[in-house]
Amino acid sequence: MFEVKQNTMEDQLDVFHSLVSVRGEQIVTTSRTIADIFGKSHKNVLRAIRQLGCSESFRRRNFEPTDFIDKNGDRQPQFLLTRDGCMFLIIGFTGARAGAFKEAFINAFDWMEAMTRKRDELNRRINDYSIRALRSANDGSYHGRGLAQRRIEKSNLAIEEIKLRGEAQLRLLLDQETDELLPH
């Protein structure tokens, strides 16, 4: 069962990864995760989602029907929920621990959105770096004066490349962990 209390940043990241993941460009959670977190039967969560009093367009945007493979190897239904869908569903959940769980979901969605923004910024920086490195190499090869400038830029670009590769490696690890959480 899920525990709300975290002692370290690693514990908190583990909790966030267990609550939300990235699918395409969207941050989602699953109906199974919600059932587990709130101590409800998954079939009851599915029924609650199907009976929500929301418009059909809201339902299509925020509750994607999908399947997962259960422990017996059988396909079972589940929903992928966006942040809005999750909040719409769990706002009605009550009980002593419901508030802490709601807060944990909000924090997890916020964290994953921040990670997605950082990934996009890293991609922009990598593209910018690639353009500058190519331009520098071209300038250095076309004229002798550019060779001196190329030597200076080459050193700076090598340092920047090492930093970008490190950040990209961390992003790949995050993407890999996120992919492992989603049903295929």
Show the tokens assigned to 90.
């769990």
Q: How confident is the model at residue 10 (pLDDT cuts 50, 70, 90)?
A: low
Percent of all residues in the chain with a pLDDT value above 90, rounded to a whole number: 13
**How many angstroms separate the CA atoms of 23 and 55, rounded?**
23
Q: Do the Cβ atoms of 102 and 95 come closer than 8 Å?
A: no
User: What pLDDT score does 12 carry?
Assistant: 54
Neighbours of 111 (CB within 10 A): 18
- Tens digits of residue pLDDT in 108-164: 778 878 888 888 888 888 888 888 888 877 766 666 666 677 777 888 888 888 888
Side chain identity at residue 167, one-letter code: E
- 3-state secondary structure (DSSP) of residue 7: coil
CB 38 within 8 A of CB 101: yes
Only one residue has tokens 């609550």, namely: 19
Q: How far apart are CA 89 and CA 46, in angstroms?
A: 10
Token pair of 94, please? 């009550």
Q: How far apart are CA 150 and CA 147, in angstroms?
A: 5
Confirm if 29 and 62 have CB atoms less than 8 A apart. Answer: no
The pLDDT of 39-47, averaged and rounded, is 90
